[in-house]
Amino acid sequence: MDLSHLGLAIVLLLILGAEFVNGFTDAPNAIATVVSTRVLSPMRALIMASILNFLGAGTALYFGAKVAGTIGKDIINPEMVDLTTVGAAMVGIIVFSTWAWRYGLPTSESHALIAGLTGAGLAKAGPSVLVIDGWIKVAKGLAFSTFLGFGGGLLLMTLIYWAFRNATPRMVKKLFGPLQILSAGFMAYSHGGNDGQKFMAPFALALYLGGLIPTNEVPPWVMALCAVTMGFGTAFGGWRIVKTMGLSLTKLESYHGFAAETSAATTITLATHFGIPLSTTHTINTSIMGVGATRRLSAVRWGVSRNIILAWVLTFPVCGFIAYVISKLATWF
């Protein structure tokens, strides 16, 4: 194996490593509420999330992988970078997200990936490497995850309170237990459909830069490999994030979980349809906050929320900085 093939192999392994990290830091958000309400046991919920994240990512085979296209072509110009750029971006993601996972903090792998590619791209080619159209979609994703997530959770929970205002607690629990399993499945599936695509793009980009595929398009086998890797990541280390999101953020009943998951999953599915790479972590977080706020603002544990938001804020600069430094060092050596 010559040095060029060795370099490509290392970069591909780093991408799969980042996808694996995505599985245990981001994907568990999908089933956090169904665990906290005790509708499903942690093990059953993690198995469900692993399978449905895989199936959701697999839908990219049939719907054109629009999100992967945005990440692969519209964030940085693929003609101006090399394998070092992609590898450096993955190192930034793995280091920061693993650190956050160690403390049970959910991170946005979407923002980590965008920041990593941007930092490494700037180190390689300067500001001209950035593609404005993709950054417009990133801004739309921030709006989707923040305002539609919180507003959707708030609105849906208000409607549920009104519709079932005269129902007995037993009736509500009997109805919303099964419904929450469906909404958690919808959330896991929609997460796979949006987030599962994101690491397919750098994998295809690395193959293209390494000369193994003729165009920067995502082959079906890459979609399948990334989907499986994310599923294994969820099964391996998802409990830490489930504990933070489902048990620490606010006290939830099954109808709260149903509202939060349905709102978040609908928002994510809508963004996926338009090829918008949004943060599924932000979306379910803000949906849970919106649901909790319908009772009273103090129902949300804002200290936990502050730590989660701090992790969000740090994602862009830290991942971008790490990727920038790694890219420069790799170029020098």
DSSP 281-320: HHHHHHHHHHHHHTT-GGGB-HHHHHHHHHHHHHHHHHHH
Share of the chain above pLDDT 90, in %: 24
Look at residue 249 in the predicted model and tell me its pLDDT: 53
DSSP 171-229: HHHHHHHHHHHHHHHHHHHHHHHHHHHHTHHHHHHHHHHTTSSSSS---HHHHHHHHHH
Look at residue 270 in the predicted model and tell me its pLDDT: 87
Highest mean pLDDT: which range of 124-138, 184-198, 240-254: 124-138
Mean pLDDT of the chain: 82
Does residue 182 surpass a pLDDT of 80?
A: yes
Q: How confident is the model at residue 172 (pLDDT cuts 50, 70, 90)?
A: confident
pTM for the predicted model, two decimal places = 0.82
Measured CA to CA, the distance from residue 119 to residue 126 in angstroms comes to 9
Does residue 42 surpass a pLDDT of 80?
A: no
Residue range 77-136, pLDDT digits in tens: 988 899 999 999 999 999 998 888 877 777 788 889 999 999 999 999 999 999 988 888
Look at residue 118 in the predicted model and tell me its pLDDT: 94
Look at residue 70 in the predicted model and tell me its pLDDT: 77
Look at residue 72 in the predicted model and tell me its pLDDT: 75
Residue range 13-41, pLDDT digits in tens: 999 999 898 877 766 666 777 777 778 87
Under DSSP, is residue 106 helix (H, G, I), strand (E, B) or coil?
A: coil
Q: Which of 81-85, 232-236, 316-320 has the lowest mean pLDDT?
A: 232-236
Measured CA to CA, the distance from residue 43 to residue 52 in angstroms comes to 14
Enumerate the β-bridge partners of residue 76: 130
Look at residue 133 in the predicted model and tell me its pLDDT: 84
Q: Which residue has the tokens 């005269």?
A: 166
